[in-house]
Amino acid sequence: MKIAVIADPHFHDIDNRQGVGRGDRVAVRTLADTNASTRVFNESFHATRALLDDIVRRGISLVVIAGDLTDDGQQSTMAAATAVLADYSRRFGLRFVATPGNHDLYAIHGRHQSKRFLNADGSHMLVTSDPQMEQGGSVERIVSDDMYCGGYGAAIPALVDLGFFRRKSDLHWECPFGTDDRLEARSFEIVSADGQTVRRMIDASFLVEPVEGLWLLSIDANVFEPRNGDLDPTLEKSYHDSTDAGWNAMPRNKGFVLDWMKDVATRAEALGKRLVAFSHYPVIDPLNGTWADEAKLLNDTSFLRRTPRAEVSKAAAATGIKVHFSGHLHINDTAVFRDGDDWLVNIAVPSMVGFPPAYKVVEISGERLEVETAVVSDVPSYDTAFALYRVEAEREGTSAAVTEATGHADFLSRHLAEMVRHRYLPKEWPQDLAALVPQLCLGDLEILAATAAPLVPKDVPSLVASSPITGTTMLQDLPFFEMIVDWYRLRKGRELALGFIEPARIAVYRHLAARFAAGAWPTGSLQDRLASFMRMLSDWLASAPSRDFSVDLVTGEVMPRDHLGRTVRRQTGSA
């Protein structure tokens, strides 16, 4: 019994510029928007097909999609994405079972979307569903309903063939409300924090048995809680976005789903069914215990806001679902939560539009779940948009270095570096640290680690200027920025990142981490903050398994597998 689990395809149709028509102008998003995003846009068009082709080559017919099938839920994009899946179902017999992501729909009424598309001369036009949206720096503006992202009532019916409704071939189908699959029978009341505003919302969770003995539990962990006040229910701003809420909002707003999960798990065990649960959001801290260090280094980041709290993981583990697959964060990670006799394994699935490009192959064998991480580096036509990127960069006087990529995986690795430059450092790092980064090399970090007196960032330029680096090597001259990029590669890819980082660099990083670990500085000092940075890097290098492993479905033990697929027993605990 083998399943492919994919997450966050974020499919974008580069053949169709919404509102303009297919064929006359391609729909290539700008490089500027791409570099500032946590994902790439245009490359999803070919990457999705390469991913599905890899699944077909492996002879797998059952595919789980852990949310965010579409770019941003635009009506035309939704139609194009589901058409691709229908084509693979028709030609290769693939069966898709999905859960909705935060990019696939929004609350009940939906929300506007606006995107910038490149013209042949490097300028861009704005296509929007919002008549009030200003044109900005675009040379043209087009208003089109095709750009609108639907709510539950529009998006879930558009995903009709992905398990949200009963199929004749299903051996079993149910939802938290019973066996009626009509959307009007699957609504519930959701209340604002002050208790004054009540809305009817749809929950799209379901349980399906597509083949004998396998239960797939799709959990809709989107929570669109009304904001306080008597606001217009049709407006986006009237709801808290599910993007940051995730599982942290589930117990208070969707407790009935957790009750149903417990009932499903109990019945699955009694009936001898193999239960595989999935939702869009992680239900266990994906940072593997480095949360406190990240909070110390970076304060409040989107990643930290999206981290499930321990009490939420405890509530999910108490349901007895045992194994849960998630997407959303575009990372490769396996985490284990234990509370007495309760345990839960969360397997975070990477995306083909963020580093590293991969998915999970799951095989159920007796009392074991065998998991392989399949990297898809070869994407034909990965460089389709590169020519337009170069024209845009020349027009704007910016860099098109990402177009020097030698393949899809290399492009995503380079995109991550641009994301660090354009998004993470300026938007998530404290200003004093972000300003210091371009001034330092790894040799300077060695000096800081050897300085016993606590420092603040403004002390550093004069200190390193008066403390020349002895025995200078190429790696000691490596910019600190490059180490930060590798830090993010490890944060997102764990073991998979090692193929993109020179072993010599890893050795130097370990050395620097050891130097900072040996020191002791007051909390809040520069060295203390850098020690947190180094400690996280060390933890990610040591965390295993992240690629190929087995889950003991009786004990919850997670054990790595060697290159021959043999299980290597290790001590139980966080993975």
pLDDT value, residue 566: 53
* DSSP string of 462-528, one letter each residue: HHHHTSPPSS--TTTTSBHHHHHHHHHHHHHHGGGGGGGS-HHHHHHHHHHHHHHHT----TTSHHH
> How does pLDDT run across 169-221, given as a tens digit for each residue?
999 999 999 999 999 999 999 999 999 999 999 999 999 999 999 999 999 99
* DSSP string of 144-204, one letter each residue: -GGGPBP-HHHHHHHTGGGTTS--TT-SEEEBTTBS---GGGSEEEEE-TTS--EEEEE--
Per-residue pLDDT at 572 exceeds 90: no
Q: How confident is the model at residue 570 (pLDDT cuts 50, 70, 90)?
A: very low
- Three-state SS for 385? coil
Angle in degrees, 0-180, between the axes of helices 75-92 and 44-57, rounded to the nearest 10 = 20
pTM comes to: 0.94
Alpha helices in 241-332 (DSSP H): 242-245, 250-253, 255-271, 291-298, 302-305, 310-317
Residue 531 burial (C-beta neighbours within 10 Å; 0-12, 13-18, 19+): buried
Helix, strand, coil percentages for the chain (3-state, nearest 5) = 40, 20, 40
Q: How confident is the model at residue 84 (pLDDT cuts 50, 70, 90)?
A: very high
Q: What gap in Å lies between CA 321 and CA 323, rounded to an integer?
A: 6
Q: Is the preceding omega at residue 479 within 30 degrees of 0, hence cis?
A: no
How do 274-279 and 206-211 pair as beta strands?
A: unpaired
Buried b (16+ CB within 10 A) or exposed e, 208-243: bbbbeebbbbbbbbbbbbbeeeeeeeeebebbbbbb
pLDDT value, residue 575: 35
Domain map of the chain by residue range? Answer: 2-375, 429-542
> How does pLDDT run across 119-174, given as a tens digit for each residue?
999 999 999 999 999 999 999 999 999 999 999 999 999 999 999 999 999 999 99
Per-residue pLDDT at 343 exceeds 60: yes
Q: How far is CA 433 from CA 193, 430, 508, 526, 555, in A?
A: 36, 6, 21, 9, 44
Residue (of 132, 514, 535) closest to 296 by Cα position = 535
Stretch 452-456: mean pLDDT: 94
Q: How confident is the model at residue 22 (pLDDT cuts 50, 70, 90)?
A: very low
Per-residue pLDDT at 23 exceeds 60: no
Q: What are phi and psi of 199, to 5 degrees?
A: -125, 155
Q: What are phi and psi of 273, to 5 degrees?
A: -90, 145
- Mean pLDDT for all residues in the chain: 92
pLDDT value, residue 225: 95
Residue 201 has which token pair?
């919302």
**How many CB atoms within 10 Å of residue 294?**
19
What is the CA 256 to chain-centroid distance, rounded? 26
Residue 234 has which token pair?
């049709």
Q: What gap in Å lies between CA 530 and CA 524, rounded to an integer?
A: 10
Per-residue pLDDT at 108 exceeds 80: yes
Q: How confident is the model at residue 297 (pLDDT cuts 50, 70, 90)?
A: confident
pLDDT value, residue 470: 60
Instruction: Please give the CATH topology (third level) of the domain spanning 2-375.
Output: Purple Acid Phosphatase; chain A, domain 2 (3.60.21)
> How does pLDDT run across 399-444, given as a tens digit for each residue?
999 999 999 999 999 999 999 999 999 999 999 999 999 999 999 9
Per-residue pLDDT at 101 exceeds 80: yes
- Three-state SS for 366? coil
Q: How confident is the model at residue 260 (pLDDT cuts 50, 70, 90)?
A: very high
> How does pLDDT run across 362-398, given as a tens digit for each residue?
999 889 999 999 999 999 999 999 999 999 999 999 9
Q: What gap in Å lies between CA 54 and CA 360, rounded to an integer?
A: 12
Considering only residues 17 and 251, tell me which one the structure prediction assigns the higher pLDDT. Answer: 251
Per-residue pLDDT at 564 exceeds 50: no
Report which residue type is found at 354: G
Contacts of 484-490 with CB under 8 Å at 24 or more apart are 484/420, 484/425, 484/437, 485/416, 485/417, 485/420, 487/533, 487/536, 487/537, 488/416, 488/419, 488/420, 488/424, 489/355, 489/356, 489/413, 489/416, 490/537, 490/540, 490/541
Q: What percent of the chain shows pLDDT beyond 90?
A: 85
Q: How confident is the model at residue 231 (pLDDT cuts 50, 70, 90)?
A: confident
Q: What gap in Å lies between CA 273 and CA 208, rounded to an integer?
A: 11
Q: How confident is the model at residue 18 (pLDDT cuts 50, 70, 90)?
A: low
Residue 71 has which token pair?
């770019």
| Interacting residues of 106 by C-beta distance below 8 A, sequence separation 6+ | 73, 149, 150, 151, 224, 236, 239, 241
Per-residue pLDDT at 569 exceeds 60: no
pLDDT value, residue 323: 97
